[in-house]
Amino acid sequence: MRLLITGGCGFIGTNFIYLMKERHPDWTLFNLDKLTYAGNRKNLLQLEQDADSGYTFIHGDICDKDFVTSVLHDYKIDAVVNFAAESHVDRSINDPAPFLTTNTLGAQNMMECARNAGIEKFVHVSTDEVYGTLGPDDPAFSEKNPLEPNSPYSASKAGADLMARAYFETYKFPVSITRCSNNYGPYQFPEKLIPLMFIKANADESLPIYGDGSNIRDWIYVDDHCTGVELTLLKGQPGKAYNFGGAAEKTNLELVKELLKILGKDESLITYVKDRPGHDMRYAMDYSLAEKELGFTPAVAFDEGIRKTVEWYKENSDWLEEVRSGAYREFMDQWYGERK
Ligand code: NAD
Ligand code: TYD
């Protein structure tokens, strides 16, 4: 298969490319990435420098119709997995426009170009956040839940999900959607909870918990999400959305305390800061459809996954240092300055 992956220089895309190369050495992979602040070409440099790896990096924007059309044509692409996105909720609160541009319009552009090119299968990578938020006793999100996004990020992702639905219903375009809970693992950009808290705890700096720390997220090891995307690519029905989760619901406070324990750091580092506006209370996933139709099951327990993740960050302090460039620090200083 000649597979085009968008956003492959980000966190999940990088892990997906390594995993697919390992599991499907015969696949030829193309990675189209704009290299925003969150994209790092060096993540995949070892594949890029190996002439026999069957991996090609393509620098560009998913919003550019002529460019995407020529990529699909020139590289004779069979199938597409669309990971490319602006992915950080806090940044979407600060400035929603790039989220709408890439996450909604960019996804629509990818589907339009793929439809015109007669692509066999298109997987659109979405998120549990499109469903909105749950109360403490609500059943987990199922694919039947209405889309009720609360942040500019989740609204922009929901826009693409609705467009994917319309492309299937209107054009019979072969698109399937994946909706997954919070990922963690190697290469996650250190603006997200786990790597951010890792950096701060290691430096004995205070750990900023929004509100009272009682918000709940379901955590999935990134390889398990990648497996979900792979299964959707291979077996997912066109027109359908599939939920994926890690069966590991935790309050933010519980998670941060576990991390501090692994790092041997004191809980006194925890600081409560001004809450994120519109902060979703709880996410939980019912992924029984993916179990039944795709044979999905999360394989990595949280205790094991978080230890592997911490080890990776310890061994890759250079990576962490490098990705925290000027643009990163600018946003972080402003955002956390406002939370004091
Ligand atoms: P990320 O921010 O780490 O990476 C995003 C990548 O997309 C970067 O390499 C960036 O350069 C690229 N990109 C951004 N705009 C682009 C554009 N216009 N054209 C081409 N490339 C562009 O994100 P991630 O955490 O790896 O998330 C990947 C996908 O998975 C996203 O669609 C996200 O919504 C979804 N998702 C993420 C999570 C999570 O916990 N991180 C959970 C569920 C779903
Ligand atoms: P995040 O990693 O940004 O993922 P998402 O918002 O997509 O779930 O945040 C995970 C949770 O951690 C969320 O409830 C917000 C909270 N959080 C903090 O309490 N402090 C922080 O500094 C960050 C980045 C997140």
20-63 tens-digit pLDDT: 999 999 999 999 999 999 999 999 999 999 999 999 999 999 99
On the question of pLDDT at 206 being above 90, the answer is yes
Q: Return the residue whose CA atom lies nearest to atom 12 of ligand 2.
A: 193
Ligand in nearest proximity to the CA of 217: 2
- What are the chain's domains? 2-188+220-247+282-300 (3.40.50.720)
Among 180, 193, 210, which is best to mutate for testing ligand 2, by the most ligand atoms less than 8 A from CB?
193
Least confident range of 65-79, 158-172, 250-264, 319-333: 319-333
CB 81 within 8 A of CB 164: no
Angle CA(304)–CA(308)–CA(314) in degrees, nearest 5? 145
What angle, 0 to 180 degrees and rounded to 10, lies between the N-to-C axes of helices 193-202 and 252-263? 40
Where does the pLDDT of residue 325 fall: very low under 50, low under 70, confident under 90, or very high at 90 and above?
A: confident
Q: Return the residue whose CA atom lies nearest to atom 19 of ligand 1.
A: 61
For 285, which DSSP code? Answer: B
| Ligand 1 geometric centre to CA of 137 (Å) | 31
Spell out which residues line ligand 2, taking CB within 6 angstroms: 89, 182, 192-193, 196, 208-210, 215, 217, 252, 276
- Measured from the Cα of 13, ligand 1's closest atom is 26
Mean of the pLDDT values across residues 118-137? 98
Tokens of 157: 């992702």
- The pLDDT of residue 15: 98
- The pLDDT of residue 138: 98
Ligand in nearest proximity to the CA of 256: 2
304-317 tens-digit pLDDT: 999 999 999 999 99
Tokens of 158: 């929901």
Where does the pLDDT of residue 340 fall: very low under 50, low under 70, confident under 90, or very high at 90 and above?
A: confident
Alpha-carbon distance 340 to 272, whole Å?
A: 9
Please count the other Cβ atoms lying within 10 Å of the Cβ belonging to residue 253.
17
Catalytic annotation on 153? yes
Q: Is 230 left (phi over 0), alpha (psi -120 to 50) or beta?
A: alpha
On the question of pLDDT at 326 being above 90, the answer is no
Q: Which of 15, 208, 234, 211 shows the shortest CA–CA distance to 120?
A: 234
Catalytic annotation on 328? no
Spell out which residues line ligand 1, taking CB within 6 angstroms: 6-7, 9-13, 33-36, 38-39, 61-63, 83-87, 102, 106, 125, 127, 157, 180, 182-183, 189
128-181 tens-digit pLDDT: 999 999 999 999 999 999 999 999 999 999 999 999 999 999 999 999 999 999
- Measured from the Cα of 62, ligand 1's closest atom is 19
214-246 tens-digit pLDDT: 999 999 999 999 999 999 999 999 999 999 999
271-307 tens-digit pLDDT: 999 999 999 999 999 999 999 999 999 999 999 999 9
| Ligand 1 geometric centre to CA of 138 (Å) | 29
49-106 tens-digit pLDDT: 999 999 999 999 999 999 999 999 999 999 999 999 999 999 999 999 999 999 999 9
Mean pLDDT, the chain, rounded, equals: 98
Among 18, 19, 35, 36, which is best to mutate for testing ligand 1, by the most ligand atoms less than 8 A from CB?
36
Ligand in nearest proximity to the CA of 86: 1
Catalytic annotation on 230? no
